[in-house]
């Protein structure tokens, strides 16, 4: 199988050799194809569904009762780490970032990213970028680099410039050519990102799948069917679908099928992990990457917000944050505990996604909206203290400070707080408790979720206190 551009169009043809003759099999859009319908004739069709990162995560059949035809899972740089193709899906040329997988099966993956080809095993493009870098952004001076080496946060829609979802800007010294790609209403990633929200009115049931596909100009964006919870899909990172018979999946991270059995089990897919549909830690099923698994609770604040910030396709935090309420549990679930290691969600995410831990943990800050039930009785809270600050002051946080890259920074601790100790306590009385994000203090960024207890001594029950090896 080989792919070639059709003239100057955005179409790519696939060809195969039959008795020495080259036969054109089909043509595809060279652009990403998340949410698109693919086919090899009427007998074999599938809809491509995205994971939270904009990769083709699964294919399902059209019709009133969709079947799970194929599933793919990738690491942050796009290496396929697992796949299920036993469901009879037509050949799916689109994979990582919805891009065409150029290479033949069995050989090293190579993706068409427009201007250049990308090798996910190297994590770099295979040729020099014609767009020059800038000393103002030194990473751009490495002209082989993909998404500035930060593929979890950035994407590279045309092979020239990385797109930063946090700033909503292209990163590079001369991205004028790339910029046109974003402003092209029919093909821009930026526009598509907005489309994720713009199309949120498309209420689709499993019965009118095709109608909705057509209604949205073939962009294949479906929302949840509240009536039957049959299945739904959000385009570009807002999640993928769920089929009937499985528990309802409403997590914005999307639902990915069980690659081992080829069935949808209501698992919620963060990159490389899934979550027990029963929301029961004891029943948590080992995932395909083997780094443990999460219950639904685990997604609530930590991983969910982390992923939202890292995901260039999910857009503003405030939008995604609305769904957090569906999962409020008021505490974090430590993946590391599942592994018997003293690692937090952030560390595991960092390992999985190959990005700095500090980047992940920083994501606690902007997404640190405190759930209303964070101070519910039984919740665990933490306090950093020492120096002028006593143990039973009013300010506490809902996040274990030791899971933060820089607690002093995120908690906005005053200089008078010596940061010598951490106390963990359980809420036994939440009367009059106020929640907020920690305010900036001097150069401290603040942002960590904070709770203010009018009388901590009577409202909290001490769990334990430990002294830090190094003051914060």
Partner 1 sequence: MDPFPSAAVLEVLARYGINTARRGDNAADPTEEIILVTGEEFERTDVREATLALMKVLPGKKVWVVPDDPNWKSTPI
Where along the sequence are the contacts to partner 1 (CB under 8 A)?
Answer: 385, 388-395, 412-417, 431-432, 434, 436, 438-442, 452, 454-457, 459
In the complex with partner 1, the residue whose CB is nearer, 97 or 389, is 389
Nearest approach in angstroms of CB 434 to partner 1 is 5
Per the CB < 8 A criterion, the answer to whether 396 and 450 are in contact is: yes
Q: Which two tokens stand for residue 219?
A: 């962009």
- Cβ of residue 260: shortest distance to partner 1, in angstroms? 48
**Nearer to partner 1 by C-beta: 207 or 431?**
431
Least distance to partner 1, CB of residue 304, Å: 24
SS3 of the chain: CEEEECCCCCEEEEEEEECCEEEEEEEEECCCCCCCEEECCCCCEEEEEECCCCCEEEEECCCCCCCEEEEEEECCCCCEEEEECCCCCCCCCECHHHCEECCCCCCCCCEECCCCEEECCCCEECCCCCCCCECCEHHHHCCCECHHHCCCCEECCCCCCEEECCCCEEECCCCHHHHHHHHCCCCCHHHHHHHHHHHHHCCCCHHHHHHHHHHCCCCCCECCCCCCCCCCECCCCCCCCCCCCCCCCCCCCCECCECCCCECCCCECECCECECCCCCHHHCCCCCCCCCCECHHHHHHHHHHHHHHHCCCCCCHHHHHHHHHHHCCCCCCCHHHHHCCCCCHHHHHHHHHCCCHHHHHHCCCCCCCCCHHHHCCCCEEEEEEEECECCCCCEEECCCHHHCCCHHHHHCCCCCEEEEEEEEEEECCCCCCEEEECCCECCECCCCEEEECCCHHHHEEEEEEEECCCCC
Phi-psi region of 381 (alpha: psi -120 to 50; beta: other; left: phi over 0): beta
Pick 239 or 412: Cβ nearer partner 1: 412
The nearest distance, CB 212 to partner 1, in angstroms, is 41
CB of 377 to partner 1, least distance (A): 15
Shortest distance (Å) from residue 376 CB to partner 1:
17
Cβ proximity to partner 1: between 80 and 391 the closer is 391
Q: Which is nearer to partner 1, 269 or 401 (CB)?
A: 401
Nearer to partner 1, 273 or 408 (CB): 408
Provide the minimum distance between the beta carbon of 390 and partner 1 in the complex, in angstroms, as a whole number: 4
Q: How far is the CB of 429 from partner 1 (least distance, A)?
A: 9
The minimum distance between CB 413 and partner 1, in angstroms, equals 7
Nearest residue (CB) to partner 1, 47 versus 410: 410
Q: Which is nearer to partner 1, 156 or 450 (CB)?
A: 450
Closer residue to partner 1, CB minimum distance, 54 or 367: 367
């Amino acid at each position: 199988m080989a792919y070639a551009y059709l003239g100057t169009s955005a179409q790519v043809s696939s060809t195969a050799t039959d008795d020495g003759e080259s036969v054109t099999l089909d043509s595809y859009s060279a652009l990403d194809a998340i949410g698109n319908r693919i086919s090899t004739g009427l007998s074999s069709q599938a809809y491509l569904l995205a994971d939270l990162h904009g990769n083709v995560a699964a294919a399902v059949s059209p019709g009133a009762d969709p079947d799970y035809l194929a599933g793919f899972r990738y690491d942050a740089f796009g290496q396929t780490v697992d796949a299920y193709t036993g469901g009879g899906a037509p050949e799916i040329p689109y994979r990582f970032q919805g891009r065409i997988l150029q290479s033949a099966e069995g050989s090293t993956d190579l993706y068409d990213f427009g201007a250049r080809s990308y090798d996910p095993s190297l994590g770099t493009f295979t040729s020099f970028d014609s767009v020059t870098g800038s000393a103002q952004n030194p990473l751009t001076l490495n002209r082989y680099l993909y998404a500035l080496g930060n593929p979890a946060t950035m994407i590279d829609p045309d092979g020239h410039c990385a797109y930063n979802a946090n700033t909503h800007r292209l990163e590079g010294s001369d991205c004028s050519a790339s910029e046109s790609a974003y402003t092209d209403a029919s093909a821009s990633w930026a526009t598509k990102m907005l489309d994720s929200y713009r199309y949120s009115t498309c209420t689709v049931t499993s019965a009118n799948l095709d109608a909705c596909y057509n209604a949205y100009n073939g962009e294949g964006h479906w929302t949840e069917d509240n009536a039957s919870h049959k299945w739904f899909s959000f385009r570009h990172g807002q999640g993928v679908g769920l089929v009937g018979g499985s528990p309802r999946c409403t997590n914005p991270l999307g639902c990915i099928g069980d690659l081992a059995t080829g069935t949808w089990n209501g698992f919620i897919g963060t990159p490389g992990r899934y979550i027990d549909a029963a929301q029961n830690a004891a029943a948590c099923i080992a995932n395909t990457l083997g780094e443990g698994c999460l219950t639904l609770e685990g997604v609530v604040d930590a991983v969910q917000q982390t992923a939202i910030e890292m995901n260039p396709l999910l857009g503003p935090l405030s939008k995604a944050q609305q769904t957090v309420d569906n999962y409020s549990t008021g505490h974090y679930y430590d993946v590391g505990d599942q592994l018997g290691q003293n690692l937090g969600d952030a560390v595991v995410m960092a390992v999985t996604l190959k990005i700095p831990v500090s980047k992940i943990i920083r994501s606690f800050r902007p997404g640190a909206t405190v759930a209303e039930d964070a101070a519910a009785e039984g919740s665990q809270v933490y306090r950093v203290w020492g120096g002028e600050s006593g143990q039973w002051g009013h300010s506490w946080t809902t996040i274990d400070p030791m899971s933060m890259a820089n607690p002093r920074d995120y908690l906005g601790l005053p200089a008078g707080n010596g940061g010598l100790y951490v106390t963990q306590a359980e809420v036994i009385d939440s009367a009059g408790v106020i929640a907020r994000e920690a305010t900036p203090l001097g150069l401290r960024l603040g942002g960590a979720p904070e709770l203010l207890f009018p009388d901590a001594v009577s409202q909290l029950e001490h769990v334990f206190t430990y002294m830090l090896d190094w003051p914060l």
